[in-house]
A and B are shown apart, each in its own frame.
Chain A
Amino acid sequence: MKQGRLTPWLYLLPALVIMFIFIVYPTGNTIYLSFLDKTSSQPASVNCVEGQPCWGIFENYHYALTNPEMVTALRNNARWLILMVPGTVICGILFAVLADRVRYESLAKSIIFMPMAISFIGAGIIWRFVYYIESGSGEQIGLLNAVLVSLGRPPVAFLSNPAINNYALMIVGVWLWAGFCMTIISAAIKGLPSEVLEAARVDGAGERQLFFQIMLPMIMPTIVVVTTTMVINVLKIFDIVFVMTGGNFGTEVIANRMFTLIVTDTGRSMAIAVVLILLTIPIMIFNVYRFRKQEELA
């Protein structure tokens, strides 16, 4: 229906104003603050130390990209991306395919999906307890260490031993998000045309062939969507690390570093936030591109 030129804006304005105030304006302001020092009153170059490399107005970015803590954080986020994202997606595919073949599908899926309903903080507590080590003479009340001790092994400090603690945290991430990946991939599998699968079976394709040569290529677009979402989630990973290790013992991540400095050193904290959004921009562009393509098809 035709309408006055003003009418659409009456419907849009409340939402647009709120989004401008709470997303667009602060994003710009954060970028501005990232060029200032911790008091937000002088340019960041005052942080430069005599006789050391100085990036001038970009000094906070110098910190965000070269400070040892930040290097650890960037490296850990990269590890999460390389290990935890594929791990979660593969778990999700596995669950979706297995659950598709049994009668108790919805029960199994609910169990795997349940961690999505609780908070990351709650999940952190759950797993702190699983990883807990009794360092005194008492009995091990954490499940994993009790298993180790009953096998005659010494208990392990899962969360403070730098050789393994990052992996311990990633397992929590997989536990949390596998259900999410499973749900979306499962819906894609259910949407596959059954004639194609039947035809392949009639032609004598084994279950493995069927999966790798028919199903997987057909659900690939969905896997891409799930993976990009997981990439974003992992770049922003915060609560789990905050509650389980506080970023200590070499488990620092970008978002936790940003939160740690938020009051004490706002300029640097904001520079870290900008690094974070820069890392998400490729995904953002990809999503907008995908959306526009969808619209053209529709």
Chain B
Amino acid sequence: MRPLSGLNRFFRQLPTHLALVTMCVLWMVPTLGLFITSLRPREAVRTSGWWTIFRPQIQEGRAEYTTYCASCHGADGDAIAAADLSDPALVSAYPRSNRLLTMLRQEIDGGPHLIDPPLPEDTNEALAVLSPIVTYTQTLAGINPEAKLFTLRNYADALVGYKGSQDYLTDCEQGVSSTLAKFRCDPGDLLNPEGMGRAFLNTLMVAIPSTILPIVFAALAAYAFAWMDFKGRQWIFAILVGLQIVPLQMTLVPIARLYVQIGLASTFLGIWLFHTGFGLPYAIYLMRNFIGGLPREILESAYLDGANHWTVFSRLVMPLTLPAIASLGIFQFLWVWNDFLVAKVFLSARPVLTVQVTNLIDPRGANWHILTGAAFLSFIIPMIVFFAFQRYFVRGLLAGSVKG
């Protein structure tokens, strides 16, 4: 009976499975499309949708090759060892159809190279036939750039901030002058101010201190709120709960003007302090709830043993609070990493990832290959952090679900 009841259960649950799987697929497809596109060659992105990679590929020149060459050279080009058409060295000797035609017009074994069917007599017609065959043999030999399904060149373009008409690596190989004027074609280009590589470093520079600072200050304040008696404790904390909701927009201009006056405009220190200020209400709220929930007996016995507040805070409370710090840290880190508005206003001279991505948007939609690569570069770290520490992130969300 067992297997049957399992089957029964499965069928009863079928609508649930169908609905859930459909929704999951719907949720994933947009991101998947972006990711696949970022790996496709420029020309392919421009001319066909990303889903076409799942279709069987129609290879250019296959029909012509089958008609003229396959009977002797074989379907894979390797039937005649002395003239192996899947050998890159051999194929690259005939990069153009006229070179191939010259060779084919020479007699082979005392007769014409091609007998059944013969090559068209007219040179132009013959070239028209041979051109797709050249492409196809290049594909067989694995040296046809057009036949590649995937490439990493978009990521190179995005990292250095390339905006030309080919791609960065090709331009560098060919020494295109407009590219050489902007790039040095060495790893130093990764730090080009218009590229995602530099933006990546800027984002790291913003995100790490902006995560640590609010946690430090919040831990101190949360300890006071949880374990000390002072006048107005309830009231100050209630105000703090309200402050969590103040929109960023309320504070941008006064702080920007203040920064200009005191020389913090477009500095990392300025943006660290701003993120600290805005992260604090939520951070204190979350940590107070956690620290306040620590077992009273542990702390009281420490006080009885003569420990002062600082000792209890630094030696006892901090280690016990690590789970909350982890939740909060991940939450704040993702928030800062993904922030656009604050970075746009306070750090315009050193664009972070989100700002740099918007700089790359081409309103005509002509650079999807770079834009998708750039967007994905900005996802890498948050995705790693998210999947590695999902548990803590969820816990942080559940602990209090409001954030400025």
Whether both chains belong to one complex is answered with yes
- Contact A288 B51, CB 8 Å, known A12-B221, A129-B368: no
| A130 adjacent to B49 (CB under 8 Å) | no
Q: What are the interface flags for B209-241 relative to A under an 8 Å C-beta threshold, 1 for contact and 0 otherwise?
A: 000000001101101110111100110101011
In contact, A102 and B37 (Cβ under 8 angstroms):
no
Q: Mark A86-104, 1 if CB is under 8 A from B, else 0.
A: 0000000011001101100
The answer to whether residues A23 and B278 also contact, given A183-B398, A287-B242 and a CB cut-off of 8 A, is yes
A22-B273, A295-B234 known; A1+B303 contact, CB < 8 A: yes
| Cα of A111 to Cα of B217 in the assembled complex, Å | 34
Q: How far is the CB of B308 from chain A (nearest CB, A)?
A: 9
B330-365 interface (Cβ within 8 A of A): 334, 337-341, 345, 353-354, 357-358, 361, 365
Interface flags, B19-41, vs A, CB<8A=1, else 0: 11001100111110110010000
**Could you tell me if B334 and A111 are in contact, using CB atoms closer than 8 angstroms?**
no
A251 in contact (CB, < 8 A):
no
Stretch from B90-98, B136-144, B380-388 that touches the partner? B380-388
Inter-subunit contact A23/B251 (CB<8 Å): yes
Find residues 114-135 in chain A having any chain B CB closer than 8 Å to their own CB.
Answer: 114-122, 125-130, 132, 134
Evaluate contact between A101 and B16: CB separation under 8 angstroms: yes
Residues of chain B within 8 A (CB-CB) of A228 are 402
For the complex, is A79 an interface residue (Cβ under 8 Å from B)?
no
Contacting residues, chain A, for B398 (C-beta < 8 A): 183-184, 187
Structural contact, A125 and B49, CB atoms closer than 8 A:
no
Is B160 an interface residue, CB under 8 A from the partner?
A: no
B269 located at the interface, meaning its Cβ lies under 8 Å from any Cβ of chain A in the complex = no
What distance in Å separates the Cβ of B298 from its nearest Cβ neighbour in chain A? Answer: 13
- Docked-complex contact A117 and B402, CB < 8 angstroms: no
How far, in whole Å, are A101 and B17 apart by their CA atoms in the complex? 9
Which of B80-88, B181-189, B371-379 lies on the face that meets chain A?
B371-379
Mark A137-150 against chain B: 1 for CB-CB distance below 8 A, else 0.
01111110010000
Pick the interface stretch among A43-51, A64-72, A276-284: A276-284
- A214 on the B face (CB < 8 A): no
- In the assembled complex, which residues on chain A have CB atoms less than 8 Å from the CB atom of B45? 141
Asked if B280 and A3 make an inter-chain contact with CB atoms under 8 angstroms apart, the answer reads no
In Å, the complex CA distance between A266 and B249 comes to 12
**Scoring A residues 239 to 274 as 1 if CB is less than 8 Å from chain B, else 0, what string do you get?**
100110000000000010011001000100110111
B246 contacts chain A at the CB level, 8 A cutoff? yes
CB distance B254 to A26 under 8 Å? yes
Q: Does A61 make an interface contact (CB < 8 A)?
A: no
Interface residues of A in 178-217 (CB under 8 A from B): 178, 180, 183-184, 187
- Knowing A7-B309, A183-B398, A270-B253, the reply to whether A288 touches B24 (Cβ < 8 A) is no
B190 at the A interface (CB under 8 A):
no
How many Å from the CB of A230 to the closest CB on chain B?
10
Q: Is A153 an interface residue (CB 8 A)?
A: no
Contacts of B75 in A (CB 8 A): none
A180 to B403, CA, bound (A): 13
Once A102-B13, A141-B45, A232-B402 are accepted as A-B contacts, the answer to whether A111 and B247 lie under 8 Å apart by CB is no
In angstroms, how far is the closest chain B Cβ from the Cβ of A250?
18
- A9 and B230 within 8 A (CB): yes
Q: How far is the CA of A1 from the CA of B313 in the complex (A)?
A: 13
Specify which chain B residues have a CB less than 8 angstroms from the CB of A242 in the assembled complex.
Answer: 340, 358
Which chain B positions have C-beta within 8 A of A114?
Answer: 27-28, 31, 383, 386
Contact partner of A125 (CB less than 8 A), chosen from B224, B273, B357, is: B357
Could you tell me which B residues sit within 8 Å of A by CB distance?
13, 16-17, 19-20, 23-24, 27-31, 33-34, 37, 45-51, 217-218, 220-221, 223-225, 227-230, 233-234, 236, 238, 240-255, 273-274, 276-278, 280-281, 284, 300, 303, 309, 313, 334, 337-341, 345, 353-354, 357-358, 361, 365, 368, 371-372, 375, 378-379, 382-383, 385-387, 390, 393-394, 397-398, 401-402
- For the complex of A and B, the 9 pairs showing the least CB-CB separation, nearest first, are A22-B277, A119-B338, A117-B386, A26-B251, A26-B254, A11-B224, A29-B254, A15-B221, A8-B230
A–B Cβ pairs within 8 angstroms, 22 of them = A12-B236, A19-B240, A22-B274, A23-B246, A23-B277, A25-B254, A26-B251, A115-B31, A121-B340, A125-B371, A125-B372, A126-B34, A126-B375, A139-B48, A140-B49, A141-B45, A143-B50, A236-B247, A272-B249, A283-B245, A291-B238, A292-B238
